[in-house]
Amino acid sequence: MVVLVNAPMFRLCGSHNDRAPLSLCYMSRYLKKAGIDHTVLNADATRTKTYWKWERLYENFQMFKDAVDGNSSLYYELAEQIVDLKPDTVIVGSGDIILSYVCLGNPYSGANLASVLKKAGIKRVLGFGQYVTMWEKWKSYKGYDGILINGPSEKIVDVVCGDNKGVIDLGRFEPNVIPNFDDLVPSNQTSDVVISSVGCKFRCEFCLARKLMPDMKFANVDLFLDDVESRNKKKIFIGDTIFTIDKNRLMEICRRKEERKMNFEFVCESRVDTLTDEVCVTLKKMGCVAVKIGVESVSQVALEGMGKKTDREKCNTAVVLLKKHGIGIIVYAMLGGPGCTNETVEETYNWIKSIEPDWVVVSVWSDDLGSDPKYDAHFNPTGLKKWDVDESWFFKMLELRKNSDVSKVSNLIG
């Protein structure tokens, strides 16, 4: 018996995340094809329909910090649940490799859980995910018998059938299978994130994609649409780092969707400099209801510090095009980082206010590849202090959300 567990992140500060852990669900597919008995346990899921707002997570950060330091009974509660399944091997995921631009894990949370599992007598505990892949220190962390780097891949079958320990390279992920959601615990988790590609060719300083998957890999168009069809949902979130990266491929997906007579709406991720009039026409025709654009800042100084290689004019053009074609706008705003000051944040705040987006995703600079990621989270007040940004800007940015009730825009934010 193998247990793939998604370590807690949002539960550490009083909330939860019911989205199925995508990388572990791909890993589950490989195990299922090989006939290996396993369970995917999302330790961040509760199936509760109510979520605390981002402001509350920020205010609850001390709870998160305490848990990361190991002071949480949740690890023991989860260990009881895992031990009850009688696994020979447990793989602890700390952050999603495929969705490497999203804050979905913490290395210390996973390692703390691993340590408790070893105390409980689990024979072999392996670490997997964004953080254990990147930071060398986790290769010798006492909670793990081994570290899985890269992946997910079919090599996981050999790993769980053997007694591998130490550093185990799964090789680069290839998007050539459909993830498995049939072995999830708890059941009926949200499984609306579908990918048509992984990786990113850009090198934004704050994004883990540049480190984890620097080369882009594309799924077969029909396999991608098969995956969408298998979800049986009217609305999906396309989780590609930049769905609009290849105009010709976008048009091919649109053509095949029409030929297959598929009917679904979607939200996708994009960069402002990949949005042209032709691309927006295609997105609208495909059923795109909103695009999440990584503006982050409109200050050129801050943008250069982030390595974004965009500018305010490109942001303006993207907004005009999306509004022209009736596509919703979700803006990413970043607080902190090299070149970020209260003045650059104010400039960005005024710009976002002027365009009236449908939603604003506010993040504090985290995942700094040059430092210890112990307290990294996109709602991290210590991150603001590090960059000397007044915390009032965090709350002012959140006030820019046109719809105060998240349920009104749930079909947009995915």
Query: Does residue 216 sit in the same domain as residue 102?
Result: no
Confidence of residue 402 (pLDDT cuts 50, 70, 90): low
Position 206 scores a pLDDT of 83
Domain that holds residue 152: 2-169
Confidence of residue 357 (pLDDT cuts 50, 70, 90): very high
pLDDT higher than threshold 50 for residue 283:
yes
**CA-CA distance, 72 to 139, in Å (whole number)?**
24
Encode 262-274: b = buried (16+ Cβ within 10 Å), e = exposed: eebebbbbbbbbb
Confidence of residue 131 (pLDDT cuts 50, 70, 90): low
pLDDT higher than threshold 70 for residue 137:
no
**CA-CA distance, 337 to 350, in Å (whole number)?**
19
Query: Does residue 148 sit in the same domain as residue 111?
Result: yes
Position 404 scores a pLDDT of 41
Beta-carbon count within 10 A of 261 CB: 6
Instruction: Using the 3D structure, point to which of 103, 136, 169 is the last residue of a domain.
Output: 169
Any idea what the CATH number is for the domain that residue 127 is in?
3.40.50.2300
Any idea what the CATH number is for the domain that residue 294 is in?
3.20.20.70
DSSP 106-152: -HHHHHHHHHHHHHTT-SEEEEESHHHHH-GGGGG-TT-SEEEES--
Asked whether residue 177 is assigned to any structural domain, the reply reads no
Residues sharing a CB contact under 8 Å with residue 296, sequence separation 6 or more, in sequence order: 206, 302, 303, 306, 308, 332, 333, 334, 348
Give the mean pLDDT of 301-322: 96
Query: Does residue 146 sit in the same domain as residue 234?
Result: no
**CA-CA distance, 250 to 255, in Å (whole number)?**
9
Write down the mean pLDDT value for the chain: 91
Query: Does residue 304 sit in the same domain as residue 163?
Result: no
**Number of domains making up the chain:** 2
334 and 297 Cβ atoms separated by less than 8 Å:
yes
Asked whether residue 95 is assigned to any structural domain, the reply reads yes
Asked whether residue 181 is assigned to any structural domain, the reply reads no
Query: Does residue 109 sit in the same domain as residue 204?
Result: no
Asked whether residue 340 is assigned to any structural domain, the reply reads yes
pLDDT higher than threshold 60 for residue 297:
yes
Weakest mean pLDDT among 27-36, 311-320, 353-362, 398-407: 398-407
Question: If residue 303 lies in a helix (H) or strand (E), which one and from where to where?
Answer: helix 300-306
Query: Does residue 204 sit in the same domain as residue 151?
Result: no
Q: What is the DSSP letter of 222?
A: H
Query: Does residue 153 sit in the same domain as residue 232?
Result: no
Structure tokens at 184: 């999830």
Query: Does residue 162 sit in the same domain as residue 202?
Result: no
Give the mean pLDDT of 66-83: 96
Confidence of residue 141 (pLDDT cuts 50, 70, 90): low
Query: Does residue 218 sit in the same domain as residue 138?
Result: no
Higher pLDDT, 201 or 373: 201
Structure tokens at 145: 């018998």
Query: Does residue 22 sit in the same domain as residue 99?
Result: yes
Position 142 scores a pLDDT of 67
| Residues 79-119: tens digit of each pLDDT | 999 999 999 999 999 888 898 777 788 888 999 999 999 99
Asked whether residue 176 is assigned to any structural domain, the reply reads no
Query: Does residue 115 sit in the same domain as residue 215?
Result: no
Higher pLDDT, 246 or 411: 246
Give the mean pLDDT of 147-162: 95
Structure tokens at 203: 């090198």
165 and 139 Cβ atoms separated by less than 8 Å:
no
283 and 244 Cβ atoms separated by less than 8 Å:
yes
Residues sharing a CB contact under 8 Å with residue 170, sequence separation 6 or more, in sequence order: 148, 149, 150, 151, 152, 153, 155, 156, 159
Position 138 scores a pLDDT of 61
Higher pLDDT, 405 or 130: 130
Query: Does residue 273 sit in the same domain as residue 399?
Result: yes
Which among 146, 241, 246, 249 is positioned nearest to 198, based on CA atoms? Answer: 241
Helix (H, G, I), strand (E, B) or coil at 84: coil
Residues sharing a CB contact under 8 Å with residue 71, sequence separation 6 or more, in sequence order: none
What percent of the chain clears pLDDT 90, i.e. is strictly above it? 75
Beta-carbon count within 10 A of 76 CB: 13
Higher pLDDT, 141 or 399: 399
pTM value surpassing 0.85: yes
| Residues 374-394: tens digit of each pLDDT | 787 888 888 888 889 999 999
Distance of CA 130 to the CA centre of its chain: 10
